[in-house]
Amino acid sequence: MPYDWPPLVPGDAEEVARRVAAVLEDAWQRLNARQAAVITAFADNWRVPHVLATLEEFKQAIEAFHRAVDNEATQFVGRQLPHLYERGAEAATAVTGGRFGWTLLHRDALQALAADSYEDFLRRSQEAGRMADAFYRAARAAARREVPLLAAGNVTARQASRALAARLAADHQLSHVVYRNGSRVPVRAWAEAATLAKSAVAYNAGTLNRAREDGIRWVEVFDGPDCGWTSHSDPDKANRTLRTVDEAADWPISHPQCSRSFGPRPDADSQSDKGS
């Protein structure tokens, strides 16, 4: 029976990212296990009905993986993003004074963040699903066309079935998700990186929109000492510089695991003005 993961509880960004990554990796490992069962069926018990039965279980594992992604994405955007956005806004409020409230500005901003984050998770899931679907189609075609003919030719049926299984395994490896640009990324890695990136963006959006709401134009950047403004290698180093709220909104982070945050500077009126 699949493990029933409890509902996501909003909290520390790194802890939530680890949970999301673990859930999706668990679902992907189950998919890998079902693929291994299909390969074994081709190699050791190559009768068409048995092969098709294991393929149906593999198809169900693909669907379970997509459900896991959809469920985690829904919980993440519905629970964790509002939590982090509010934390960022409250951090700004500690500087600007007053009280944070979910005004239309903040509700609209959160809705846009949630939609973007959800779509990003689904895009990544589709890349993973594309690989699994390709194996399913290839294996099903082989079961329909090649398995009935395994005994033909100059090799035994057993040798032919094992050669077919080896070919399917070599052509459709699911240990990594291979994206269209050729990069190979484990499911856990992309899930954790995506969750951390969206978490940082949500927190910083709360800070920046709260500053904008109070008419503050400048923010101070807090970042790693070597982190560039638009990418980690950008020679324009970000840490302890002043940027406009609009500039900061364009670059809330510069890479997936960026530690960037912002502090409102109501006392500053230019990039060179560090204030007191």
pLDDT digits (tens, 9 = 90+) for 229-249: 999 999 999 999 999 999 999
What pLDDT score was predicted for residue 276?
41
Q: Which tokens belong to 198? A: 């969206």
Q: Are 97 and 211 in contact (CB under 8 A)?
A: no
Q: What is the pLDDT of residues 114-164, one digit of tens each?
A: 999 999 999 888 888 899 999 999 999 988 887 777 655 556 777 888 888
Please state whether beta strands 184-185 and 177-178 pair in parallel, antiparallel, or not at all (unpaired): antiparallel
Rg (CA), the chain: 25
136 alpha carbon, distance to own chain's centre? 24
Q: What is the pTM of this model?
A: 0.89
What pLDDT score was predicted for residue 1?
47
Residue 116 CB partners (closer than 8 Å, separation 6+): 198
Tell me the CB-side half-sphere exposure of residue 240, using CA atoms within 13 A: 5
CA pair distance 229, 183, nearest whole angstrom: 25
Residues of the chain with pLDDT under 50: 1, 275-276
Residues 142, 147, 148, 152: is their CA dihedral positive or negative? positive
Residue spans per domain, the chain: 13-215, 216-276
Q: Report the run of H or E that residue 177 belongs to, with start and end.
A: strand 177-178
